[in-house]
Structure 1
Amino acid sequence: MLDGLGGTQGTQETDVAPTDEVAGTGAPEMTGTARGARPALRVVKPLKRSRIGDLRMKVVYRVLAVAVVLIAAAVAVVAGLLPSGSAEQPDEGRPGQIAAPSTAAPSSGPTSSAAVPAAASNPTAVSSPTAVSSPTAEAAPAPDDSAVKAALADPRVPELPADKRLGRLPGKASSSKSRISDEKSGVSLIRFGKPWKPYGASPFATRQVLPPVRGAGHRAMLVSCPVPTLVQATLKDTALIAARWTLNHHPKGGRISWVASQPIKDGWLLAYKVVYKMKGKARSSMAAVAVTEVAGSKPALVFVTIPDSQRTRWRDINTVATSIRPV
């Protein structure tokens, strides 16, 4: 209906209180006390709400509280696991200490039998490097007789004769000036005067030679060195292997013919002829090897050979055999 004042439509009076829906919209609220009275309009301010999305603050607070509780529980679980893990780490390093090398120096003597039960009852001794590196374990095994069999199977080397002493060889003994001390081999021997003379030792330790003779096939020489072959169980067998080796210093095709086999001071002597051909003519050399025990790891070898073209010097082989001494 018209209010009669400005031709505007009036507002209908109501006694109903505004609901939350109306109040929440911010629309004007109509109030009145009597019918026919002009209603008074009052603007009601909307309620302030803090929203995260469409959620109320109360809901947000509850979510945050739950999250804080969960985080605190997780931290407590992790904190409970860390001490147990760190306590096990030192124990894991202890087995390595058992295998640590012993600081005690290894004994230079033979291992006693009392050390065997101790090593069996003590795991540390078993795992220690010093327990397995005794001097007796490093000793080389005794050689077998394979080298001797190989030497005797060589058609150039006959079976060793029964022990027989070297007789006086033909010729005249050379004069002697002094002695030669071979520190490398551990022996000393005679040093002949003229016509012998020292010569370049390589590949030996010492060497003396006679003047070369045309047609002889090789040069007379007296040398010393550590045994250049495999050491055998006995000095006699070692001398056999060394005699075969000396064929490398004789003319090609040389064959051994034994002359003597006898013990000498701290060693063994083999004397022999080496028979060969030079330009179709039979030739020979008188030779001898002496193997002597010395302080070194290998015996000493003294080797002398003189061709038949210088047979007047063969007596020097007797002198050499009796002159060998340990240094």
Structure 2
Amino acid sequence: MKQLLILITCLIVCTGLFAQDEAPAPAEKKKLIVATKDAPPFAFKDPSGEWTGITIEMWDAIAKKLGYDYELTEDSLEGVLRSVSSGKADIGAAAISVTAERAQIMDFTHTYYGSALGIATSYQRTDIWSQLFSRLFTWNFLKALFALIVVLLIAGALVWVFERKRNPEHFGGKPMHGLGAAFWWSAVTMTTVGYGDKAPATPAGRVVGLVWMFTSIIIISGMTGAIATALTVGSLTPRVKGPQDLHKVEVGTIQSSVADGYLKSIGVNPTYYNSVQEGLQAVDDEAIGAFVNDHAIIGYWAGKDFAGDVDVLRDTFEPSYLALAMPLDSEHQREIDLALLEFIQTPAWDAILAKYRAAQ
């Protein structure tokens, strides 16, 4: 009986050893398909033809950490979203904003960059004199003119008080005549014309005159600056000054983008372009009055290819957040999420943002 137990034990051990030897090797991770699109500074090809950019460099760091092998495929924004939602692509990596509509057909990682919409527009020349008239002859201008007249009267009245008896030749006579002469003197002094037909002779009058001379310099300088500003702004103004003006001009954007959804929500039917460069070229050619897209992207292209011709307004609107897109219930989502959150807290992420001048 004892020998039988020893024999059975030996058989069990040997069977386990053979089973261990014959266990299949762990399956290799499949190559992931990563769909992207040209969207500098987040995803674009460098002069050598290699993909780079904020999102691409971030994804490459995540892929290396997780041991992923991947292949990049280029498409339009609509194509990228379609590939991800259908499962043909495992990852969508570009400037992809998280929206409620997109979240119904695909999943997203945690966001990694805060963005917003911006407007690119061109300048239009306007009639200088009509702009000057409309800008200067306003209620504020009339109030300033009234205040100037009051100051002129005060300066003239002070001189008249000191000069009317000791300098009657210039400021004497009836009060209305004397005050009129003093007002004339204060106006001539302010404009530095200096006819010399009237001048204070008493010490007190000359002190008032001296103070008024320096005060006049400040007033004239301010008025000259205001007129020059009005002429400059009036001769060259942007066609669009903000989202409130988008109804007044032809507007372009990229189909299926966040900007497309925003424009439709405010009742604007945009003209579609295949790329940001095409849209900005249309603005430069005055085919459209404004192009709406991600502020960082249009700012990049406008500064690179359209400096001085296309203006990107500083004010942004409709804030959004960028993330990596994945098919619904992707098996990779959790580990990519964790790797992404770890990476954007490292100095390497700060260096990428600084490299592309996109620090938040």
Q: TM-score range by the shorter chain?
A: under 0.3
Select the structure that is richer in helix: 2
TM superposition score normalised by structure 2: 0.17
Larger radius of gyration: 1
Select the structure that is richer in strand: 1
